[in-house]
Amino acid sequence: MRTMHSYALLLLTAFATLLHAAPPDPANGLGPMALAVNPDGSRLVIAEACARQLVQMELPSGRLLRVVPIAGSPLVLTASPDGRLLYVALGEVTGRVICLSADTLDLIGDYPAGHTPTAMVLSPDLTTLYVANRFNGTVERISVPVERGTRPPPLEVGREPVSLAITPDGQRLFVAHHLPDMASTATVVAAGITIWDPVKGIRTGQFLLPNGSTAVRNICLSPDGKFGYVTHIIGRFQAPATQLERGWMMTAAMTVFDAHTGTPVKTILLDDFDRGAANPWGITCSNDGAWIYTTHSGTHEISRINREKLHRRIGAEDGSRERLPSTPSLPDPVLNDLSLLVGMRDRIPLPGNGPRVLAIHGNTLYVAEYFSDTIAVMDTSNPTSGIRTLHLGQPTKMSLLRRGEQVFHDATLCFQHWQSCASCHPDMRADGLNWDLLNDGIGNPKNTKSLITSHLTPPVMVSGVRDRAETAVRTGFRFIQFHDVNPADAEAVDAYLRSLQPIASPHLVNGQLSERARRGEKAFQSAGCVVCHPPPLFTDGKAYDIGLGKPGESVRLFDTPTILENWRTAPYLYDGRANTMLDVLTLHNPQDRHGKTRSLATNELQDLMEYLLSL
């Protein structure tokens, strides 16, 4: 942590510059992404990720008290229990956490973090702040409020940690991972939870979510610390994408786990029989533990679940449970039970669009509505009394790009609201699953592709079956969401996807190729990789038979994908059979059909891999 003298310099330079920065354009959205309520419930702080600012709001009036520009995109807020300090994670390539006075939002200190810090939690003794660096796959252990001595090495937790929860005794840290970390051809393809002793820095357990689980967003513990809850999607990728009814392709889910044993109890479907509850995001328990609240970012609503009834139904408390329907061919019928929550859950529509995170204080629930730039306020003691809306700014017509982003995430455009574009393409990238989309026949599933540069590198889809991305956008709505999108919305999605830029790789050193990667760049050329993957887009737009098609598949020619940002988009190859880049270069290239890599020495392969993961 910096000295008080450096704080003064920071305030005089960086903070002064921030306060004189150009104001954000409301047409591009404010993007509320995190909330923090002070202990007496008189103030709410909102992190506006798109506007890159913090807003302090008076409660219950909604009057804006302070607006503070920030040198970064604030993604997470964590307040000290006494309400004096507020920690803000800035989701940048060179991430950092700043500490502010919760009352005045004055800067107190800052701490370096890794690539895109996305989650934070304080230790129960308030001496350590755990910070998940999403794209380093690490969790920092930062001494607070004053960083003392040498910081211990970060925990190497694995792929894309996006949410954290810690038990009341501080002995177990639960890390929720956004995406699967295995080949898409594995028997089970699912994201999971890892469990850590945060003091000793060792992993003490882990479990996978059900097969097809992706897009994990949030994790929380019950107030007594006995149980945990995590929101995610279950992609039903084993079946051809021929229909949507009854969650045939996609279901929204919440997994309950035992926080003491670190084992899953049950996964609960959040959808109804004929209406999806797409893209679950935030989750929290009421202070008395009576209720669980989740947001559905795709359908613009919240679920209010009676926790006692749910636990009794699934036998979470004492190992016994009510009689559940059994199906001999299914090991866990609950995974297909769209009626389990009947009688114990209320689905409450929200007035805004894109609810993500939520915060609770006493009997008041606050929900950040990302696309409408509003905060929904609900009296949990009387949820039928109506929901108030607090506006973060004057209503403004959305820009074309913002509208495209909203349409991309909006599951109400889908038949029965089961999914949105973001369900298979979380954060516009890939979900790690193989889908049989029927656009090139049936029985030959292909790995989901990232949408980065898709509008610049025709043709599109793994087999190049669509001539350009614009065609794929419209056919995607028609044949995957079973909805004919209106032309204006399709053009907005096109504009939004065209605007996407690759994020700098965590393998870069100060934004530049490392020495090993520079050697790998030479191997990239000498091995002939550059022939099919020429810069700047790293694809020649042609299709090749690289000897990977399976017997019986009608398509053997595969479009050359861009390799930009492939550090983020594992697994690799058309069916995701290669979990690592090294597997691509060795195990799945025995005949040198995609680069002459057989003759490369081990160190040359490592160099080449480092270069590829640095793009």
pLDDT tens for each residue of 130-185: 999 999 999 999 999 877 778 899 999 999 999 999 999 999 999 999 999 999 99
As a whole number of Å, the end-to-end CA separation of the chain is 32
The answer, as to whether pTM is greater than 0.75, is yes
The full set of domains in the chain, from first to last, is 1-156 (2.130.10.10), 402-499 (1.10.760.10), 515-612 (1.10.760.10)
Q: What is the pLDDT of residue 15?
A: 43
Q: What is the pLDDT of residue 464?
A: 87
Shortest CA distance to 72 belongs to which of 46, 56, 95? 95
Calculate the alpha carbon distances from 460 to 437, 453, 599 in Å: 14, 10, 32
CB atoms within 10 A of CB 586: 17
CA torsion 447→450→453→455, rounded to 10°? 70
Q: What is the pLDDT of residue 553?
A: 64
The answer to whether the CB of 459 falls within 8 A of the CB of 448 is no
The answer to whether the CB of 554 falls within 8 A of the CB of 440 is yes
- Exposure on the CB side of residue 386, measured as CA atoms within 13 A: 2
Question: Which residue ranges of the chain lie beneath pLDDT 70?
Answer: 1-23, 317-334, 551-555
> How would DSSP label each residue in 179-218?
S--S-TTSS----EEEEEETTTTEEEEEEEPSTTEEEEEE
Q: What is the pLDDT of residue 5?
A: 34
> What's the CA gap between 347 and 335, in Å, rounded?
20
CA torsion 478→480→486→489, rounded to 10°? -150
